[in-house]
Amino acid sequence: MPDASPALPGAVLFDFDGTLADSYPAITASVNFIRSRYGLAPLTVAEVKPFVGHGPENLLEHTVPGCNPPADGQAYRAHHPEVMYESTSLFPGVSGALSKLAALRVRLGICSNKPRRFTVALLEHFGVAPLFSVILGPEDVAAAKPAPDMLIAAGERLGLDRDRLLYVGDMRVDLQTARAAGVRVWLVPTGSDSRADLIASGPDRLIDRIADIPDLLTGSDLTRPVSPESSQ
């Protein structure tokens, strides 16, 4: 496929949970499955949500007191397919935005700390997997986010320099990852971190929703820094 116009990024890379998809009910269900093995009461989505984004073992360390992260991480992964299809949904407008970006000849990728097989299965379930040129998870690199490895690997696989990439996420860890990789980053307040925390972290832009990306890319200055006033 030919590269996009020089005015556009060559590729837009996305985080998954909290960015493209509301995965929190499914993640909470699997956390509560592990908690039940320890005789612990279930947590709410709101109680689990702040700890999503750093991989299952880290998630369980923060939500299941006394857990065994390697063993319980394995049990979490075994349980998750039982709940992830029914309890995960793309955010409104995501599918259309991805199609519009593909029509603009912008290549698409995923760089997420979610296990890759879950991301691939869900993208296939939602019918958008063919739109993606590269899908990476923590098992594909030496170090997961906030290390820059996934973004660097995605650029290499796509044959694109880092200044041709845009990364879109929902957490400060996504900004840290992008900065470490030397990649432009936009954040969306639909995930684990608050809007105020995202603004304070200093992304290149704070956007309201993924559905806005095609219009923003074709009609505005990509380098305008975010400010609290311009992000309201």
Distance CA 128, CA 119 (A): 11
The first and second tokens of residue 91, run together, are 């955010």
Number of H helices, E strands in the chain: 10, 8
Helix (H, G, I), strand (E, B) or coil at 217: helix
Q: Evaluate whether 20 touches 45 at the Cβ level (below 8 Å).
A: no
- Count of beta carbons in the 10 Å neighbourhood of residue 45: 16
DSSP conformational letter for 221 = -
DSSP conformational letter for 55 = -
pLDDT of residue 212: 96
Give the strand pairing for 132-136 and 107-111: parallel
Distance CA 98, CA 102 (A): 6
**Residue 199 pLDDT level (bands cut at 50, 70, 90):** very high
Judged against a pLDDT cut of 60, whether residue 50 lies above it is answered with yes
Q: Evaluate whether 118 touches 84 at the Cβ level (below 8 Å).
A: yes
Q: Is 15 a catalytic residue?
A: yes
Architecture of domain 11-22+89-219: 3-Layer(aba) Sandwich (3.40)
> Tens of pLDDT along 84-129?
999 999 999 999 999 999 999 999 999 999 999 999 999 999 999 9
Catalytic residue among 15, 72, 174, 193: 15
Q: What DSSP letter does each residue of 105-132 carry, written as one string? A: T-EEEEE-SS-HHHHHHHHHHTT-GGGE
